[in-house]
Amino acid sequence: MPRFALKIEYDGRPFCGWQRQLDLATVQGTVEAAVRKLDPDCTGIQGAGRTDAGVHATGQVAHVDLVRDWEPFRLTEALNFHIKPSPVAILAVARVDDDFHARFSAVERRYLFRVVSRRAPMTFDKGMAWRVPHVLDAEAMQKAADYLLGQHDFTTFRSSLCQAASPVKTLDELRVEVVPRDFGTEYHFHVRARSFLHNQVRSFIGTLERVGAGAWPPEQVRAALEAKDRAACGPVSPPHGLYLAAVKYPQDPFSQK
């Protein structure tokens, strides 16, 4: 059976996360329903990573095996037709080798977290970024973020529900970018690693926000990391500022698309 890679974008607000759940709206379930309009016997799709309820994606990747050897453009169009009106889009489709696996072949995942500092309520960006009413100190947050780079035991920043075999991960990037706005300031947190623990990114951002607000000194983040204790973590940020931005592979399946 021919295998296809799908690049997927979605607004996570209406969904109970990526992973299919009985009688609940999920992104995986929505895409699978569209796939089965084309191939009723399809066993399902496999995603590169699970996202929680309310989390968005601009570069999720999944793979699917189909009976028919579709031309990628026509498959993209057909899937998007059947996905409507859900806020999910298939950005690209690529024919891939049978050994390609959206999750296990991935060598890097990139996340973006958006925080907007402004007093006024959000209108257009409501549910798409985390609004805080106070200015944040980007330099202090970056200093704190640098303590987290490299290979560490991230037990402090790991959900108690995390099912990963080990809390040891290697964080390759945690960069704070300041994006001026007409009213307020937006902060982009760029996070990059091969893989992540459950709630790891949201735990990072919630903790760094406390540093930016002046409630924590940057050095407290290092102490929290070294404590290897979930109780030492700052508050976990809400999900709606988080985006799965990209998944990288040894060879980009979409490079010619």
CATH of domain 3-105: 3.30.70.580
68, 74, 77, 79: CA torsion to nearest 10: 10
pTM for the full predicted model: 0.95
Tens-digit pLDDT string for the chain (257 aa)? 899 999 999 999 999 999 999 889 999 999 999 999 999 999 999 999 999 999 999 999 999 999 999 999 999 999 999 999 999 999 999 999 999 999 999 999 999 999 999 999 999 999 999 999 999 999 999 999 999 999 999 999 999 888 888 999 999 999 999 998 888 899 999 999 999 999 999 999 999 999 999 999 999 999 999 999 999 999 999 999 999 999 999 999 998 64
Domain ranges of the chain: 3-105, 108-245
pLDDT of amino acid 61: 98
List active site positions: 52
Q: Would you state the CATH architecture of domain 108-245?
A: 2-Layer Sandwich (3.30)
pLDDT of amino acid 97: 95
pLDDT of amino acid 1: 87
pLDDT of amino acid 164: 87
Q: How far apart are CA 241 and CA 113, in angstroms?
A: 5
Q: Do domains 3-105 and 108-245 have the same CATH topology?
A: yes
pLDDT, tens digit, 9 for 90 and up, residues 164-218:
889 999 999 999 999 988 888 999 999 999 999 999 999 999 999 999 999 999 9
Q: How far apart are CA 247 and CA 107, in angstroms?
A: 8
138, 141, 142, 144: CA torsion to nearest 10: 160
